[in-house]
Amino acid sequence: MVSENRTVHCFRNYTFEPERINNGVMKTGKNKNQVSLFEAISYEYLFVISPKEVEADVRMFKEKLHELIGLPSQVLNSIPHISLYHFYSAGDLDTILKKSLQALSGFRAFKVRLDGIKTFGSEQYDRTMYIDVEKSDELENLHSALQMTFLRKGEKFHPHLTIARGIKPDKYALIVPNLPDFEFFGGFDCQQITLLRKRLGEEMPYERVRIINLEG
């Protein structure tokens, strides 16, 4: 049976850095009394796996990058995590929590395997350096269950653990000679899923809403 940790905590000193999402505001048209989509939808929610077991390793790689190219504080201090699913809602929090518990009910703790450090991007574009996550039925099923529950189709699901994003081509050229120092393989037991949220349009850190424990 899925259980929940009812502690609510706001990450005031750290930030989660999820995948980039288009948060452009929709125009409301002629009627000034109409509300825009983003006035009606007040929160962005994000389900993540935040593995304490590898947090120190990820921070070590961030520090190495910082020494080589300098990283913005938001990137340097972001909490390592694997994004599972995000959606927008203006619904009340109790309803969101109830649906979250129903979606994750029956899921058991499982092993997540990490498969080396890789990059997105190319020579002409900014790059993202990340630890690749080995695909598994458990991760795919979690993502699918959340997607069916909250009815938002997103981009192709590619689970990974970001080290840094927005690395400019000239900066990446400084990293290339040091790539042999960026290797990591391992794994951890996923025993819980964290639900976060933040107000749309605000540059505030995510608030941790619930930790939902998996069975086993």
Check residue 55 and give its pLDDT. Answer: 93
Supply the pLDDT for residue 155: 66
Q: What is the pTM of this model?
A: 0.79
Read off the pLDDT of each residue in 156-172 and give the average, rounded to a whole number.
Answer: 92
**Rounded mean pLDDT, 138-152:** 92
> Does residue 15 or residue 87 have the better pLDDT?
87
Contacts of 36 (CB under 8 A, 6+ apart): 25, 26, 27, 28
What is the model's pLDDT at position 201? 81
Q: What is the pLDDT of residues 13-40, one digit of tens each?
A: 335 554 443 333 333 344 444 444 445 5
pLDDT averaged over every residue in the chain: 83
Is residue 6 within 8 Å of 210, Cβ to Cβ?
Answer: yes
| pLDDT at residue 154, rounded to an integer | 64
- Residue 149: CB atoms within 10 A of its CB come to 16
Asked whether the predicted pLDDT for residue 41 surpasses 70, the reply is: no
Which range among 35-39, 126-130, 149-153 has the greatest average pLDDT?
Answer: 126-130
pLDDT (0 to 100) of residue 27: 35
Answer yes or no: is pLDDT of 212 > 50.
yes
The whole-number pLDDT of residue 39 equals 52
- What mean pLDDT do residues 45-50 have? 96
Fold classification of 3-20+36-213 is Cyclic Phosphodiesterase; Chain: A, (3.90.1140)
Sequence-ordered list of residues with C-beta below 8 angstroms from that of 85, at least 6 positions apart, any chain: 46, 47, 142, 143, 146, 147, 150, 154
The CA distance from 208 to 11, in Å, is 7
What is the arithmetic mean of pLDDT over 85-97? 91
Structure confidence by residue, pLDDT tens digits, 109-119: 999 999 999 99
Residue 44 has pLDDT above 50, yes or no: yes
